[in-house]
Structure 1
Amino acid sequence: MKRGMAESYNRLVNVFVIACDTCIVGGLFHRFYHWAQDTAWEKTLQASEFQIVATLMLCYLLCAMHTGVILYRRKVFAYEVLTRVAKNVVFFAILGGGILQLGGYMDAWSKLFLAYLLAVLVCVSVFRLGLRMLIKAYRTKGGNLRFVVLVGSADNNRELYQELTSQSWAGYRVLGYFDFEPNGNFPQECPYLGKPQEVTDYLKKHGNTHFLFCCLPSKDREVIMPIIDYCENNLVHFYSVPNVHNYLQNRMYFNMMGNVPYLSLRQDPLSRLGNKMLKRT
């Protein structure tokens, strides 16, 4: 139920943003089309307004669906939103401009189309950043919260606590932590909830828990497995946090070798499709 509601919320925001973006794209060209009338730019328009606007809106819709929306994510920053918008507009310029040029609808190399693309970039960026600010304000005031439980109090979970609570607009609320004994190094704001064996009982009594982060070592398998089983059967997101803080301070990347997971210090350049294609050419 909780997971389904979260996915529905994300889909709703995604559809709303893309729909509004597409309307902005169509509305902007409507204005540019009328501004171009009785000017030198009118010669660049070789089809009706409806044909061009419909083509542009369809092209943008396809590009936006491809690049997606990230502004509803809990830990996302303005530069990431702007990067996604810029990437989307570049794809839109290539696809939309190519179709308009090849179809003889308008001169896609004209200054009119360039000015239009810049206007799209600015307006969509302002819209998405504005919506992002509204979402952040809503979460700061206590809306759309996600409640978290930590299992284990090693360094990684302590740092994770700081990451989850450092920005209230992310919408995380840490209920507390479990460990075999209280950890004096853990922040006082994060209460000790009991031993790991008591996690499932706690989750049963507190059905509002959304995420559980566990950093217990693998030797505690008999304690961890019942927690995983409960989370999987009760729509609580279970995450295993590797405790490598005492010897690795770098950013790490998750990889799979067959069925065996491992962490690397750098991303393999050939893991990206574009780089694989370049290597083969």
Structure 2
Amino acid sequence: MNKVLYLLILFFLASTLAFSQVTNQSVKDESIKLELSKGSPLIGKTVLVFPSPSEYKSMGKDEDLKFLVDTINSYLSELGIEYVEYKRSLELSKKFESVYEEKKGETMSLAQLLAQDIKAPIYIEVDLNVKVEPYTKLKGWVLVDGMANLKAYDSSTARGLGTSQAGNRLVNNSSDQDKAKKVVLSYIAKKTLQDLLPKIEKYLVKGEKIEVKVIGLKGLKAVKDFSEFLSTLPGTQDSKRKSLSGDTAVFEVLYGGGIETFINDLADMSSTYPEYEKMNVDQSGNSVIISF
């Protein structure tokens, strides 16, 4: 009888320890605070969260990946950042699959193509690994182990803005392992954003990099004149020519206020220059094409 009682006590202690791990995890999750800086340049911006290229084959079937992206989007929304629902982003990405195959050599990802199409200046690519294994110390229980890596990019240039990695593990009853996975993934979503968002803010506060392609410039003087015109726009912090071929020049402009402000200022200023009054403007993400 004493032996049976002893075994029951051990089982109770092991169960209590396992439950405490779940409880402690929830406390850790609640202790993570997601905040943007005052007047953050991210507020009102659209940020696309999308699987990394290594996840493309399983992205439509992986429920854990879907939950992680949905949770990240939920946190972004709470902060005043616009997002695209995961299901919708997968649907939209289908029209770019053939383009992606053509541009693989140019390191164009589906996320970048989609971000440019929906005019999202920033996109985040997600890698996720989740494992569920038997917990050998307790019969009928499992160990849930998750790890995610997030990478943020400027959609016009694919310039990396920062990375963030977080992982966590939980022991839980095997009959409730889906709930345990959600606890792990919610923690990971919050933890990675806590580290990544300040890096994106730091980049944006300096102004957004906008690629401006100008078609129809006749001669080097016209190229020089347009370069000077870009410098006169009120939000221009830096402007440089990246390439020149025939009548086409490509400029990189660092602009305070973002792409919408740039387009508005471009329209206002061009009306005061007779030679630029009839320019045509097309925008895709943080890329602008101007033609004469």
Hey, which of these two has a bigger chunk of strand by percent? 2
TM-score range, shorter chain: under 0.3
More RCO (CA 8 Å, sep 6+): 2
Hey, which of these two has a bigger chunk of helix by percent? 1
Instruction: State the TM-score, normalized to the length of structure 2.
Output: 0.25
